[in-house]
Amino acid sequence: MPLGTLSPSLLAHYMARNQETINELDEATKTKMQTFYINVYNKYKIFLLLYEGYRTYNRQEELYFIYVGGGSLAAPPTKSWHEYRRAVDVMPINSDGSNGFNSMTTADWQKVYNEANLLGLSNGSGFGDSGHFWNPDYIGQTLEFYLQSNSIPYSNTPEWQQYHAPKTAGFGSWFFIAAAIGLFISEDLRKN
């Protein structure tokens, strides 16, 4: 069954389900996600079911263990924007209400990504998760202020982990450590 206009009863059913998912998101993300899926449907007749939004640590851990065992892509706990109420996973819905992932063409996904980009949303197409969307915007705040005002430890976020978390030491890391040690040694020598 192809993508297209949903019957009024299916549309009402899936919109109610989307609202449940949206209600669990942070305030800035709620507005963007609601506008996103409605715009995609109104412009392109592609209905996106927001089937998963906020995840608890335990839910993220469960999905990660499934991924490690050969299942669908999932980040480790504390490294997913789902846990911070800023991400959703979507599933296109065919006009008969069935899963529309196989009905989506590359051109269809591009329309969806373009609409997301217009709203400042990021997507997972670059790492093989075409139905994953998140809100990287902190409404003019620094990431640190946003997290602090929402009682989220900065060191737990995916962004912090990407840029600051200890990594296994490769050549570049050892070079940096050696350079840092050299600076400390030269500082000590200047004092004497």
- pLDDT, averaged per 10 consecutive residues of the chain (192 residues), comes to 85 96 93 96 96 93 92 88 92 94 94 95 89 78 57 56 43 40 40 42
> What's the confidence (pLDDT) of residue 40?
97
Query: Cα(83)–Cα(86) distance, rounded to whole angstroms?
Result: 8
Specify the amino acid at residue 172: G
**Res 156: pLDDT:** 55
The enclosing H or E element of 88 equals strand 87-93
Say which DSSP state 24 is in: T
CA distance 85 to 35: 16
- Return all residues near 146 (Cβ < 8 A) that are at least 6 apart: 138, 139, 152
> How much is the pLDDT for 3?
81
DSSP assignment letter at 16? H
d(CA 176, CA 42): 52
pTM of the full structure: 0.72
Of 100, 123, 82, nearest to 41 (Cα)? 100
Element containing residue 133 per DSSP (H, E)? strand 129-134
